[in-house]
Structure formats: structure tokens, C-alpha cells
């Protein structure tokens, strides 16, 4: 199993540009999570999906952020327009129903820098 | 709202020492408590999961305990090695598949 795959690993963009982060969860996992990690705020849950349906997006900071999961094997997190304060590491994770923490597998993250 | 605190924020020890990392949470209505390890520039690796009905879990040199009544969990690392150097994060799950993370303990084990 290749684990949770995120792309790109690094992204540098100019303020105002659109940024799209991608995630492929582990096959068979029915939950998908997007987290953001910064030095100041640590790890924050942005949004999570169950069976491709968004369940809780209360962590999405602003309307500039949007996430989709068109099928069980792909999800995107989009920021439009991007701002310097969006600079962070964005992690995707997946899990199976009912296993909670034990089933969580994290990707290697996308390091986003907005200049 | 669940809040998770980790103490100490950083720890430096010589190789071979036994050490304890602490995690406290504000909401005792916790479904499970998980410990992760994060290496620089990497994702999170799950170490141990303690379900609400359990009091501890062990894996090799690692032992994690959970005391819901006091809102605390500890991670015990026996005979520390330089390869244990990383940031250790605890996370509480209140039953809605959402993990709330602590701020982490940065561990450095010197040869």
C-alpha cells in the first residue's frame, strides 16, 4: 500500500493566485481529513468527508478555502485567492469507519508558501 | 470545546534514559487518545491508540496510559535512542472522527 499520497510536496505561489492541493486516500478508507499545521496554531482540522460527502467544514478559515471529493480516491483543497497568511503545511489523512485514531494515516503534507 | 496541552514543549536527554511525555485534555468525554510521532518535514506516524475503555497500550519500548478521571495521558519511552528524536503529538477524539491535537513535545536524544 502506497499510503496517503499528496501532491505537490512543495508549492510557492504569489499572493492572489489560486492554489490546488491534491490527495489520494488509502483504498478502502471511507473518511478523509484535511489538516493545516503552523508554528503558531499547531494542527487544525479544516474539513472532513465521509463516503465522499463533506461532514464538517467548520474549520475552514474563510470562503477563500474550498474542498471537494469527487470520488473515493481523490480530494482537492483549493485556496482562491491565496494570501501570505495561508502559508503552512497542509496534511491529508484517511481512516476507516469506527477505528478512529488507529485507522488514521497521514500523508507527507504539502508545504505551501505564499509570497 | 476539547483542548489538549502537552508538557514539556521540548526535552533533551542523553541516550539510554527513560522518559515521560505528558498530555492533558479538558473534556473527559473522550472516545480515544492517540500518540503520534512527527519527524522534521514529514507527516505523522501513529504510535499508540488507547480506546476509551482501555487504560494503557504498549508497543516495544513505548507505553501509553490514559486516565480519563484526571484528563491525562502519558507516553513512556524506555531506554531512549537517538532515533527517537522527533516531535511527539497526542490527539483526543471526542467520538465524531475528529482529532484534536496537542502542540507537541520536541524530543532530542543525544548519543
Average pLDDT over residues B17-40: 89
**Residue B99: pLDDT band with limits 50, 70, 90:** confident
Check whether B19 has a pLDDT greater than 80.
yes
pLDDT of residue A101: 47
CA dihedral A22, A32, A48, A63 (to 10 degrees): 10
Hey, are the CB atoms on B89 and A43 less than 8 Å from each other? yes
**Residue B96: pLDDT band with limits 50, 70, 90:** low
- Summarised one tens digit per residue, pLDDT across range A71-103 is 999 999 999 999 999 999 999 999 886 554 456
The CA distance from A99 to A82, in Å, is: 35
pLDDT of residue B2: 78
The dihedral of CA A24, A27, A33, A38: what is its sign?
A: negative
- Summarised one tens digit per residue, pLDDT across range A5-64 is 999 999 999 999 999 999 999 998 999 999 999 988 889 999 999 999 999 999 998 899
- Comparing CB atoms, the residue among A56, A101, A111 nearest residue B91 is A101
Residue in A with minimal Cα distance to B48: A102
Chain B nearest-CA distance from A82, in A, is 22
Residue in A with minimal Cα distance to B92: A101
The CA distance from B102 to A25, in Å, is: 24
Amino acid at each position: 500500500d502506497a499510503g496517503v499520497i499528496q501532491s505537490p510536496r512543495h508549492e510557492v505561489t504569489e499572493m492572489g493566485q489560486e492554489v490546488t492541493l491534491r490527495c489520494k486516500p488509502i483504498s478502502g478508507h471511507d473518511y478523509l481529513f484535511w489538516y493545516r499545521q503552523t508554528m503558531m496554531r499547531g494542527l487544525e482540522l479544516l474539513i472532513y468527508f465521509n463516503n465522499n460527502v463533506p461532514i464538517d467544514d467548520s474549520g475552514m478559515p474563510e470562503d477563500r478555502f474550498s474542498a471537494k471529493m469527487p470520488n473515493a480516491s481523490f480530494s482537492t483543497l483549493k485556496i482562491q485567492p491565496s494570501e501570505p497568511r495561508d502559508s503552512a503545511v497542509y496534511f491529508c489523512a484517511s481512516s476507516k469507519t469506527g477505528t478512529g485514531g488507529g485507522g488514521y494515516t497521514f500523508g507527507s503534507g504539502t508545504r505551501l508558501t505564499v509570497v | 470545546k476539547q483542548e489538549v496541552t502537552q508538557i514539556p514543549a521540548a526535552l533533551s536527554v542523553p541516550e539510554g534514559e527513560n522518559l515521560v511525555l505528558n498530555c492533558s485534555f479538558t473534556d473527559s468525554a473522550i472516545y480515544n487518545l492517540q500518540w503520534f510521532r512527527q519527524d522534521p518535514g514529514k507527516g505523522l506516524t501513529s504510535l499508540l491508540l488507547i480506546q476509551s475503555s482501555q487504560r494503557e497500550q504498549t508497543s516495544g519500548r513505548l507505553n501509553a496510559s490514559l486516565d480519563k478521571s484526571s484528563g491525562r495521558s502519558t507516553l513512556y519511552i524506555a531506554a531512549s535512542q537517538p532515533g527517537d528524536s522527533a516531535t511527539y503529538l497526542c490527539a483526543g477524539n471526542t467520538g465524531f472522527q475528529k482529532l484534536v491535537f496537542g502542540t507537541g513535545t520536541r524530543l532530542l536524544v543525544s548519543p
